[in-house]
Structure 1
């Protein structure tokens, strides 16, 4: 009876999310992947204190190219593995953010063949509201160094908690999603048990798909290795309407019963980035956990001096190879959608600083008072999921089934 009870509980938590159907809002794929719908950060990493320069669009497309579409038609986002970086300069890397934001009822998906990994490497595929932490953050993919599997997380203002009983295949390691400094910084984390979800094993298995649903019923994240990708997330069929109800138990579940999404999450920018070392990956004890050999009593800049400075030979595997990133929504609003235009600087636009050189920037000069980041002003999305008669009947049926199975 355990599988049946688990399914009933899952159905009660995620009730018929497909009731209104999903419509494609954005498809980044092929030769147009890097068209003007991405904002390049254009500053040193003043967010996680990584030893990188997040370059502007112009620098990313200059030699050595850090963003481009390869001969197979896949998008490459990578760390500069060509230039020699003298101390105390930083190495060039990329942080791109969707110009538009996506609110409740949105589903964003990345299909990748390769994820960045290696000692000092800290990649992420994630999302963040324009106003942080008030608008929340969702880490769909985030890991460091030579770790063997992915970690999921939410970051919110205090009060949001992960459910300790929500059905998920992942392992809940911290239920508190709050971000109060300095005591709570990692968010409510879930470890992905599939060892092919990150690193060399991910690439060897042909990659896979990460999918995140931001719904009024909660935040739900799935990982699918290549052999198990649902047919409605096919690379060749962007116009399909995904059906998360058919995907099985999520890797990570954050139901609204313990963290109401309408309270803690505003429309999200979808973000891809790679930093190096920094406040997580670069701490000597953390680095040593997955890259053994860090000497006892190593200085705090050990990660930088050992890997970042010098030639780029450590970064041959520090790149994303992405077949697509797509966003769908089952929400409508008075304006005809639930995304917000990046042209509205008060709500979603992220500015850029002037271009840097292509060989790295001095950490004492690369930042400035106008360094870009989430705007201090934002507005909470007002779009709500369509509640159709089918949804109401479906939810009632789901409750009846749950009661019968639990009887």
Structure 2
């Protein structure tokens, strides 16, 4: 479900196209760790021989396609100088080098202490492969337990350990797709598309969007993965993603033959072209004219937890106040049905009553036995553990009839307490799913997914709070 306008879970941390693209990467010029038939060159050689360029804002990274090269075909391997601990990586590609016999291109992320700090293969394939393969590589103790209903691809292997028993060496946990738009010739014929990889502490998901169906929130630089539907691949469960994947650097490379493309040469249709992969790559330079990357955009976003943007500053702190403990839980029956004539009372807020900040509501913890005075223009909702107040004119969002009247206690300022931004209260164990403020269903499930009612109590993680608020707004559920 999409976030409401103005909400930005992800903000751009690094836009690789905004400056010197190649200056943000190091060029690998050592031997290929995957034993490829390749000669990786440094930046000066790459520029001098035309293997890289920035043409009209599009980044070109190719291979030598003019000369017989018996010691390995010249190519480039770039590694970002910056590393990441999480994030949303969005790559807009116009062309990739896949689907060509002898090639092994990849767009991936890797930690410096391989495999203990993990590897995330986002785009990868060999020889005449026609669709993408996505894989995680780790040390012991990491597996993928995501169910097939969570993504559109197909699980190939589920143990991410590069030395897992019962799997090929370094197979990792892999997911494949049959969609030929995702890789090689099919991808290039359609003008490419966008790959988006969301890496959090609990999962890694890979999305793909063909050129004609890129979400508008990506184009507007406000990506919202919750609105994108099922990813093409998802890895979750069976792994501590926070501790396993660390210091990940972004890598582009095009190698040839080696441990995968070379090892599977005889099993592919490419074997009819030459006896060995190395022979073909060395003696057929013209075959690799289209073995290049053309990058339109590369950005890395970080989740800011849904805080306000600079144009909408986060509210300041408010002191605690009090409410009589006798008020107990809100009464669903006393509140009545939503009013069609007053859209601000329930459901989506009226346009004129749109909140002025991203905070849809605030929780004020209160000791029992004292009155509570609602801030001006806020509508209090009384629960067994405290008071929840919602910003906005009371004319657009009237207080429930069971709300207490204002007392002589000092009024709280019109902003939620600062501590509420660090974690929102815990899902109610007792309120059920049939009250008007809640989306319904089992409380535990709603807590896990970020849906349902929240009341004052123990904090939950920022991400859970934000998902709940997003879905709350998207469901048009009115006051939280």
Q: What is the aligned residue count?
A: 317
Q: Determine the C-alpha separation between the residues in 2 that align with 1:389 and 1:326.
A: 30
Displacement of 1:399 after TM fit? 5.1
What is the 5 A alignment of 1:3-402? 21-29=9-17, 32-34=20-22, 36-45=23-32, 47-63=33-49, 65-70=50-55, 72-85=56-69, 87=70, 89-104=71-86, 106-117=87-98, 118-165=100-147, 167-180=150-163, 183-234=168-219, 237=220, 240-255=221-236, 257-283=237-263, 285-293=264-272, 298=275, 302-305=276-279, 307-330=280-303, 388-389=423-424, 396=447, 398=450, 400=452
User: Any stretches of 5+ residues in structure 2 without a counterpart?
Assistant: 306-420, 429-438, 440-445, 454-467, 469-480
1:340 — aligned with what?
none
Q: Determine the C-alpha separation between the residues in 2 that align with 1:66 and 1:287.
A: 29
Measured on the aligned residues, the alpha-carbon RMSD in Å equals 3.0
CA contact (8 A) 1:164 1:175 kept: no
Bigger shift: residues 47-56 or 389-398 = 389-398
Q: Deviation per CA, 1:121-155: give whole Å up to 9, x if none.
A: 11000000111111000000001111110000000
CA contact (8 A) 1:281 1:287 kept: no
Displacement of 1:160 after TM fit? 0.8
Q: Deviation per CA, 1:335-363: give whole Å up to 9, x if none.
A: xxxxxxxxxxxxxxxxxxxxxxxxxxxxx
Displacement of 1:291 after TM fit? 2.2
User: What is the SS of the residue equivalent to 1:81?
Assistant: coil
Displacement of 1:189 after TM fit? 0.7
Q: Deviation per CA, 1:229-284: give whole Å up to 9, x if none.
A: 111222xx4xx2211111111111111x222202311120010000011110012x
Q: Determine the C-alpha separation between the residues in 1 that align with 2:76 and 2:226.
A: 34
Point out the structure with max Rg over C-alpha: 2
Where relative contact order (Cα < 8 A, 6+ residues apart) is larger, the structure is 1
- CA change 1:217–1:392 in 2 (3 A) is farther
User: Any stretches of 5+ residues in structure 1 without a counterpart?
Assistant: 1-6, 12-17, 333-385, 403-407
TM normalised by structure 1 equals 0.71
Q: Determine the C-alpha separation between the residues in 2 that align with 1:51 and 1:390.
A: 57
Displacement of 1:112 after TM fit? 0.6
- CA change 1:205–1:389 in 2 (3 A) is same
Q: Determine the C-alpha separation between the residues in 2 that align with 1:19 and 1:177.
A: 35
- CA change 1:20–1:216 in 2 (3 A) is farther
CA contact (8 A) 1:30 1:324 kept: no
Q: Determine the C-alpha separation between the residues in 1 that align with 2:253 and 2:142.
A: 26
TM normalised by structure 2 equals 0.61
CA contact (8 A) 1:31 1:73 kept: no
Displacement of 1:221 after TM fit? 0.7
- CA change 1:103–1:30 in 2 (3 A) is closer
